[in-house]
Amino acid sequence: MTGTTLDDYTDRYARRVRGMTASEIRALFAVASRPEVVSLAGGAPFIAALPLDAVGEMLGRLGAEHGTTTLQYGIGQGTLELRERICEVMALSGIDAACGASPEDVVVTVGGQQALDLVARLFLDPGDVVLAEGPTYVGALGVFQAAQAQVVHVPMDDDGLIPEALETAIAEQARAGRRVKFLYTIPTYQNPAGVTLTEERRERVLDICERAGLLVVEDDPYGQLGFEGEAPAPLRARRREGVFYLSTFSKTFAPGLRVGWILAPHAVRDKLVIASEAQILCPSAYAQSAVSTYLSTMPWREQLKVYREVYRERRDAMLDALADLMPDGTRWTTPAGGLFVWATLPDGLDAKAMMPRAIAARVAYVPGTGFYADGTGTGHMRLNFSFPAPERIREGVRRLAGVMEQEMAMRRVFGAVTGPGRRRGGAGSDVPGPDLA
């Protein structure tokens, strides 16, 4: 050891550690949590909308009356009771016994994040390619990079993933001799773009993947949080083979419990359980019992309606504020559900470079660079509307608009510079495309 670096263990790390980078969202949390900052950065659900007194009493009883089981070890796959309740939840979206959904093929995970990691552990070798929407969930990027896989982004527009672009991406990777393992997609109320894959495109995407022999990893944390009618049926409700369905109770109940799941093809179930046991031995029996009891004894379907109304009001507050306050040239998506709006900045603005000045103005957002594997996306930002109250959302947008106006004034004086990651088309396009406003 020479002691000349900040990290004296650098030469001892495994090669896969080189792909690990800090999440831009996590890096913002310390600043964004300050009370004087209006945070439009995170993705936290509005837990205060829950009946917290009743939930608190329920949690207390789990320890006092059932502690000998809820505080004990469990089994790697998760309790049968919870897996049965999960099947009831999925049935609301059309994933039911008729399309092969069974408690036997459900694996309980520590949130949706572990579900992603398990799929990556089973299927990704170093150098493999994952196709993913551009932009995509930052947590998935971290998982795939840790697995030493290469993420290739497929553009989106207002109607979600573009099927023709998916076909092109598959063909390009084949010509280059690269092995594509699966398509990772958030087809409903996508994070971060807020767009939803249309009914017609869902069938086309599945057909394309089936012809190419490509697995589909469908991440669906937000599908039951729609504001404008029913969402299209999940991909897993349409095809049972080759589709892995991942979801979580973090957005519909409580993220602090860290309970998610995978519905996998039957042949893969045992390998998922083995991989999970190697990681965590077993998911928390207490957390599983909490979710099972909540689903069995409380009006959780009514609670979903409460969340939808709360988030609809806050989505509308954000859209109204953006329309009223944002400078000319700004565009944004209009989500029909979920937690996020994706904004495209006027030409010349760089969301990442602008961040320190936004924090100084006491407003936080997530620069678009965090949602691309290649660091592009400087001309975009993700805005969250689920957590702040409507009046705080408007104040945050007012502060943000003021920062952008100042940036634009500076560029009029000193000249506009377009960063290397500037995107001028749709949510993830590299070329001019449909306007996502």
352 and 226 housed in the same domain: no
DSSP conformational letter for 182? E
In-domain check, residue 215: yes
Which CATH number do you get for residue 339?
3.90.1150.10
Look at residue 241 and tell me if it is in a domain.
yes
Q: Which of 297, 316, 348 is the last residue of a domain?
A: 297
Q: Are residues 145 and 188 in the same domain?
A: yes
- Claim to verify: residue 198 and residue 273 sit in the same structural domain: yes
Q: How far is CA 14 from its chain centroid?
A: 28
DSSP state of 18: G
pLDDT for position 289: 98
Q: Is 263 in contact with 101 (CB distance < 8 Å)?
A: yes
Instruction: From first to last of the 437 residues of the chain, give the pLDDT tens digit.
Output: 444 557 778 778 887 776 566 666 666 666 667 788 999 998 899 999 999 999 999 999 999 999 999 999 999 999 999 999 999 999 999 999 999 999 999 999 999 999 999 999 999 999 999 999 999 999 999 999 999 999 999 999 999 999 999 999 999 999 999 999 999 999 999 999 999 999 999 999 999 999 999 999 999 999 999 999 889 999 999 998 999 999 999 999 999 999 999 999 988 999 999 999 999 999 999 999 999 999 999 999 999 999 999 999 999 999 999 999 999 999 999 999 999 999 999 999 999 999 999 999 999 999 999 999 998 999 999 999 999 999 999 999 999 999 999 999 988 887 755 444 443 334 444 333 333 43
CA distance linking residue 35 with residue 310, whole number of Å: 21
| The domain boundary residue, chosen from 247, 265, 297 | 297
Please tell me whether residues 147 and 275 are part of one structural domain.
Answer: yes
Contact 409, 403 (CB under 8 A): no
Report the largest interatomic distance among the alpha carbons of the chain, rounded to a whole angstrom.
Answer: 69
Same domain? 216 vs 355: no
How far the first Cα of the chain sits from its last, in Å, is 55
CATH number, domain with residue 111: 3.40.640.10
| Three-class HEC string of 46-87 | CHHHCCHHHHHHHHHHHHHHHHHHHCCCCCCCCCHHHHHHHH
**Sign, Cα dihedral of 293, 252, 304, 218:** negative
Residue 405 lies in a domain: yes
Residues 44 and 98 in one domain: no
CA quadruple 88, 205, 214, 339: dihedral, nearest 10: -50
Domain C-terminal end among 264, 297, 330:
297
| pLDDT at site 419 | 44
User: Same domain, yes or no, for 250 and 208?
Assistant: yes
Exposed (0-12), middle (13-18) or buried (19+): which is 210, by Cβ within 10 Å? middle
**How many folded domains does the chain comprise?**
2
Q: Containing domain of residue 106, as a range?
A: 68-297
Domain identity same for 308 and 288? no
Asked if residue 117 is part of any domain, the answer here is: yes
In-domain check, residue 219: yes
Whether 288 and 344 share a structural domain: no
Burial class (CB in 10 A: 0-12, 13-18, 19+), 1: exposed
| Helix H or strand E encompassing 246 | strand 243-248
Dihedral in degrees, nearest 10, Cα atoms 309, 311, 315, 320: 50
Examine residue 135 and state whether it is found in any structural domain, yes or no. Answer: yes
Instruction: Identify whether the C-beta of residue 221 lies closer than 8 Å to the C-beta of residue 112.
Output: yes
Residue 95 shares a structural domain with residue 240:
yes
Residue 436: inside a domain: no
Q: Are 85 and 44 in the same domain?
A: no
pLDDT value of position 250: 97
Is the same domain home to 245 and 364?
Answer: no
Number of alpha carbons in the 13 Å side-chain half-sphere of residue 295: 21
Q: Is 2 inside a domain boundary?
A: no
Residue 5 has a pLDDT of 58
CA distances from 23 to 138, 243, 429 (A): 7, 27, 23
